[in-house]
Amino acid sequence: MLRIASIFVLVIIVAVGGGYLLAGFAAAPAIEVMRPRKAVGTDGTLEMVVHAEGRLSRFDAFLEQQGQRYRVFSLDDPSSGTKIQQEAENRMRVTAPLGKRAIPALRPGPARLTVTAARPVLYGLRTLETIASRDLELRFTPPRLSIASRHHFVNHGGAEMAVYRVSPSEVESAVQVGDTLYPGFPASGAGVTNADLALKVSFFALVYDQDLGTAIRLFARDEAGNTARANFDHRIFPKPMRRSRIEITDEFMRRTVPDIVEHSPELGSLPLSTDEELLQAFLRVNGELRRKNADKIASFAAETSPQIVWEGAFTQLSNSQVESTFADHRTYFYKGREIDQQVHLGFDLAVTANVPVHASNTGKVLYADYLGIYGNCAIIDHGMGVQTLYGHLASLDVKPGDRVTKGQTIGRSGMTGLAGGDHLHFTMLVNGRMVSPVEWWDPHWIEDRVMRKLREAGAQAAPASATAQAR
Ligand SMILES: [Zn+2]
């Protein structure tokens, strides 16, 4: 009887011991810290995800600096401003404020973030713990910004240029118009003589659908997330926007819509047999595809050259009939009833079929292919976010990567895409946003808005050696 009992006890000991060891092989919590990666500023955020089976017995984050330990987060007692999301049964995301505003005692310099997560196993007899840590740099001084150029006149729907200084020179900086950032490029790329790295040039725009009262100012943000803003003098000029009505006929839709649908896989397959199906497809093309095309066009801004490669005024297609306004609010009618409204962003330059279309200025071809409502379309980059677009071409003579000079033939005029007749659809782009080309065709505008400011910036900039001696 005693023997049976001792075997029983032994079995229990083996079972418990084995279980204890096996529990050690169960998965410990996994920690992933998304932010911050390297630097922390005044208003930083800790963002992390923990993966764990079952309940967590501990989940916290501390920042250590010069022997002091500051609590950033604790699951037991989350501070205000902390967000905890149970994203799945075994995945929790935490965002908590981490910076000088949340922990005023922090000082600039190195610090170490340590995150600990633990979960009980084997009825609480064992704990599986994971510790993740990251070395961080704390910086609380915001970048410094100041305007260098004078007289900024912005036409609604048009562009402008500013020259400014930012330090440290390597931080992200831009002219901010509402929510839109127009990045600044080193002024040396605009041919400014003696330009040091802190001097930047930004082309920006107040686009047609932004309010006349939209804030326009300089913006900078460093790696630690410290931001700076600075106002600069500018005047906004309203521009009348034209309204027009467009009659859509079955003949027009039969000629344009099937071809566009065939070239635009993003629309999927659309039935096009009946007049009603054709009309529905036209509305998809005129709305949804127009927006998708605009997004694609905007994406080429990222490929712009940091150097200005254009020279002098942009040229308008010769012998073409020009419409008088940019951003034409068009109302579409079909058999007497209103079916759609869109804003036409660009200039339609009426010409006869198959006339040579020239590069409006020197640049590099980024796109030369079919592009939805624009049919055969070319996009040329001229540097610092300035680009031109040519639509409805019958044929293209260039390919992406080609360097083109002002006046070089890039294709022939036509009526591909959503075009009622032979014409060139031409628009200027500033950082992917469509702006009126009228300004860029005008040598006086180019001189006063761009060249004058670049010359003045060059005259102000001290020679590099003199700057070094002054320090
Ligand atoms: Zn057009």
Q: What are phi and psi of 284, to 5 degrees?
A: -65, -40
User: Do residues 133 and 115 make contact, with C-beta atoms less than 8 angstroms apart?
Assistant: yes
Instruction: Classify residue 8 as exposed, middle or buried by CB count within 10 Å of its CB (0-12, 13-18, 19+).
Output: exposed
Distance 401 CA to ligand 1 centre (A): 25
- Which pLDDT belongs to residue 15? 54
pLDDT band at 25 (very low <50, low <70, confident <90, very high): low
Decide if pLDDT at 372 tops 70.
yes
Same fold, 26-138 and 144-239+451-459: yes
CA atoms of 375 and 259, how far apart (whole Å)? 9
> What spacing in Å lies between the alpha carbon of 349 and ligand 1's midpoint?
8
Identify the weakest region by mean pLDDT among 8-22, 129-143, 175-189. Answer: 8-22
CATH tag, 144-239+451-459: 2.60.40
CA 226–ligand 1 middle distance (angstroms): 43
* Rounded Cα distance, 196 and 457, in Å: 11
In the reported structure, the alpha carbon of residue 203 is separated from the centroid of ligand 1 by a whole-number distance in angstroms of 24
Ligand 1 centroid to residue 347 C-alpha, Å: 6
Q: Looking at residue 73, what is its pLDDT?
A: 96
CA distances from 467 to 198, 211, 257, 371 (A): 12, 41, 62, 50
CA of residue 327 to ligand 1 center, whole Å = 10
Q: What is the 431 CA–ligand 1 centroid distance (Å)?
A: 20
- Other beta carbons within 10 angstroms of residue 247's beta carbon come to 11
| CB distance 111 to 80 below 8 Å | no
Domain ranges of the chain: 26-138, 144-239+451-459, 243-435
* Ligand 1 centroid to residue 425 C-alpha, Å: 4
Instruction: Give the least confident one: 22-26, 179-183, 201-205, 405-409.
Output: 22-26
Using pLDDT thresholds of 50, 70 and 90, give the confidence band for residue 414.
Answer: very high
Distance 268 CA to ligand 1 centre (A): 24
CA of 296 to the centre of ligand 1 (A): 17
Mean pLDDT of the chain: 91
Whether the CB-CB separation of 328 and 241 falls below 8 Å is answered with yes
What's the 289 CA to ligand 1 centre distance in angstroms? 14
Instruction: Report whether 222 contacts 143 (CB < 8 A).
Output: yes
Q: Percentage of the chain surpassing pLDDT 70?
A: 91
Dist. CA 69–CA 468, nearest whole Å: 41
- To 5 degrees, how large is the angle CA 447–CA 449–CA 455? 65
Mean pLDDT of 337-361: 91
How much distance in Å is there from the Cα of 418 to the middle of ligand 1? 8
pLDDT value, residue 465: 45
Q: Calculate how far, in angstroms, residue 38's C-alpha sits from the geometric centre of ligand 1.
A: 47
The Å distance, Cα 241 to ligand 1 centre, comes to: 15
Contact 208, 220 (CB under 8 A): no
Measured in angstroms, how far is the CA atom of residue 433 from the centroid of ligand 1? 16
Question: CA angle 371-377-378, nearest 5°?
Answer: 125
Going by CATH, does the domain composed of 26-138 fall within 3.20.20.10?
no
Ligand 1 geometric centre to CA of 352 (Å): 15
By residue count, the chain amounts to: 471
Q: What is the pLDDT of residues 64-80, one digit of tens each?
A: 999 999 999 999 988 88
pLDDT digits (tens, 9 = 90+) for 417-439: 999 888 899 999 999 999 999 99
> What is the per-residue pLDDT across 38-57, written as a single tens digit (0 to 9) for each?
999 999 999 999 999 888 99
Give the pLDDT of residue 317.
Answer: 82
pLDDT of residue 420: 86
Which residues lie closer than 8 Å to 339 by C-beta, 6 or more apart? Answer: 248, 279, 283, 332, 333
Reply yes or no on whether the pLDDT at 341 is more than 60. Answer: yes
CA of 359 to the centre of ligand 1 (A): 17
Domain 243-435 is classified in which CATH homologous superfamily? Glucose Permease (Domain IIA) (2.70.70.10)
Q: What is the rounded distance in angstroms from the CA atom of residue 198 to the CA atom of residue 194?
A: 11
Please state the separation of Cα 52 from the chain's center in Å.
35
Q: Is the pLDDT of residue 16 over 70?
A: no
Q: 249: CA distance to ligand 1 center in Å?
A: 18
Q: How far is the CA of 152 from the centre of ligand 1 (A)?
A: 29
> What pLDDT shows up at residue 358?
96
Is a pLDDT exceeding 80 seen at residue 36? yes
Range scoring the smallest mean pLDDT among 5-14, 273-282, 449-458: 5-14
The CA 346 to ligand 1 mean position distance, Å, reads: 6
Nearest-angstrom CA–CA distance, 377 and 413: 10
CA of 358 to the centre of ligand 1 (A): 17
CA of 348 to the centre of ligand 1 (A): 5
pLDDT at position 193: 84
Q: Ligand 1 centroid to 303 CA: how many Å?
A: 24
Number of Cβ atoms within 10 Å of the Cβ of 248: 19
State which H helix or E strand residue 276 sits in. helix 275-284
pLDDT at 6 over 80: no
Digit-coded pLDDT (tens) for 173-230:
999 999 999 999 999 999 998 899 999 999 999 999 999 999 999 999 999 999 999 9
- pLDDT band of residue 153 (cuts 50, 70, 90) is very high
Question: Quick count: other Cβ atoms within 10 Å of Cβ 131?
Answer: 11
* Local confidence band at 5 (pLDDT 50, 70, 90 cut-offs): low
- Ligand 1 centroid to Cα of residue 429, in Å, is 14
- The average pLDDT across 81-90 equals 94
